[in-house]
Homo-oligomer: A and B are copies of this chain.
């Protein structure tokens, strides 16, 4: 057993993952890259008149040379509407392919269809976010090897550094042409940005575009050029539009959450970052969207214009750009129909890859241009460590997303969350799982006010006067923890076995924590 820099006990060796000695988390910025990126496979030109269309998914799997024991990757822009993962795994099963490692950016409830293939050994390892039913399966120890969780930036880092070698990438392509050019913007299954798929396309040995909208060569605009794509599979439908894009994302109406959002917004307005050119990421949650709404008013009131909005983009951000309150959007995932329509028509709405968005070993990473990020967490502890992966019962139900990356990159990282969810406290002495270390979390905002990380005395000095004049209360972490304890009453400790069911990597590839099997 080893102890890492966030005081977590990590087994020296994790069956199905490997030795951890060289890979222990040492600090948010301790590990620096050296050497060269992995080189993608060299390809020969397809002769003139040749087409990459291989038939359907099964034919493409055959043509790809996919074999038992290989690693196949997927991206999750079709979210809970995705048909591609299920169809590919089913085709593999029908072809007698077993022992696959799957490397999706994230799996959702829709992917419970692959559970029988996990049980039958077609899929034996998962590296990627597991939400919902598959997370539950993993938590209960039903996979022989631990899931590896990586952030949106940690995943491309793992690929470009050669930690993960993708044998075959399957890319859900809302539009494609016979040369393999791909766009997420057009087609009945349009999802907007397909930023998570770029690195897979660039580095996989074989790349298969799976489309339900084959158009004449060349399509435009092109998200991923055919220079990275080997085969095109054509199928009736790659997804269910209802699950791919949501309707307009909504700001919370809950008074408690609105109060939290107003405190967070005041903290931002008080901060030295609230000036022309401010940039922010708020994602699609109810509280962060409300923060954006409050900030919008403050920006108008003080005549401030933002530079860019980052990350997963919602219609709310699109409106901000249309109203001139931010100049640009940098979009790795378009959450709703308005975002899809905007990226399809507005050159100020920029599609970015996950590598560009969040990879710490990338000299142009967008999170490092960010002023403000508003995040959530299932728990935060008194060291400001945040847990976004496991729930109160210890079950692994959420991926890391961009949590680690934006927290590490932004100048001001705010976790905005009610102190309790039901009677479950969100501030604890020790989080069950450390996803993001307290070293990169600057503030926790709850209905009791703003709790600044003592590390950020500079921030306290900068905002103290404004806080008094605008009635923004400060509360210490110790007060908050005591309140949470008092309100929730004694909590049942989580019962876990020794067995590791998931490894949580910090974005640099080190092990920041492990998730153990829950006992019921």
- A274 within 8 A of partner (CB): no
Residues of A in contact with B, size category = 35 or more
The residue that A218 contacts in the complex, of B36, B41, B227, B307, with Cβ under 8 A, is B307
Once the chains bind, are B308 and A361 in contact (CB under 8 Å)? Answer: no
- Known contacts: A226-B363, A229-B364. The answer to whether A39 contacts B42 by CB under 8 A is no
Interface of A is mostly: loop
The residue that A230 contacts in the complex, of B33, B37, B363, with Cβ under 8 A, is B363
Once the chains bind, are B181 and A364 in contact (CB under 8 Å)? Answer: yes
Q: Within the assembled complex, what's the spacing in Å between the Cα atoms of A399 and B347?
A: 35
Residue in A36, A42, A221, A277 with the greatest tally of chain B CB atoms within 10 Å: A42
The residue that A362 contacts in the complex, of B227, B277, B355, with Cβ under 8 A, is B227
Interface residues of A in 305-359 (CB under 8 A from B): 307-308, 327-328, 330, 347-348, 350, 352, 355-356, 359
User: Residues of B contacting A32 with CB < 8 Å?
Assistant: 44
Once the chains bind, are B42 and A368 in contact (CB under 8 Å)? Answer: no
- Cβ-closest chain B residue relative to A32: B44
User: Residues of B contacting A348 with CB < 8 Å?
Assistant: 220
- A303 within 8 A of partner (CB): no
What 1/0 flags go to A159-198 for Cβ under 8 Å of B?
Answer: 0110000000000000000011100000000000000000
Once the chains bind, are B356 and A225 in contact (CB under 8 Å)? Answer: yes
Once the chains bind, are A218 and B328 in contact (CB under 8 Å)? Answer: yes
User: Residues of B contacting A36 with CB < 8 Å?
Assistant: 38-42
- Cβ-closest chain B residue relative to A38: B39
User: Residues of B contacting A411 with CB < 8 Å?
Assistant: 48-49
- A217 within 8 A of partner (CB): yes
User: Residues of B contacting A308 with CB < 8 Å?
Assistant: 217-218
The residue that A179 contacts in the complex, of B180, B220, B360, B364, with Cβ under 8 A, is B364
Nearest Cβ on chain B to A47's Cβ, whole angstroms: 7
Nearest Cβ on chain B to A329's Cβ, whole angstroms: 9
- Known contacts: A37-B39, A38-B39, A347-B221. The answer to whether A364 contacts B330 by CB under 8 A is no
Q: Within the assembled complex, what's the spacing in Å between the Cα atoms of A49 and B409?
A: 10
The residue that A216 contacts in the complex, of B37, B327, B347, with Cβ under 8 A, is B327
Once the chains bind, are A33 and B43 in contact (CB under 8 Å)? Answer: yes
User: Residues of B contacting A365 with CB < 8 Å?
Assistant: 45-46, 227
Once the chains bind, are B43 and A220 in contact (CB under 8 Å)? Answer: no
Residue in A45, A49, A328, A362 with the greatest tally of chain B CB atoms within 10 Å: A45
Residue in A181, A350, A369 with the greatest tally of chain B CB atoms within 10 Å: A369
User: Residues of B contacting A230 with CB < 8 Å?
Assistant: 363
Interface residues of A in 339-398 (CB under 8 A from B): 347-348, 350, 352, 355-356, 359-365, 368-370
Once the chains bind, are A363 and B33 in contact (CB under 8 Å)? Answer: no
12 contacts between A and B (CB under 8 A): A33-B42, A35-B41, A37-B42, A38-B39, A42-B361, A44-B361, A45-B359, A216-B277, A216-B307, A220-B347, A221-B350, A227-B362
Known: A36-B39, A180-B364. 8 other contacts (CB 8 A): A37-B40, A45-B360, A45-B362, A47-B368, A48-B409, A52-B363, A218-B308, A225-B352
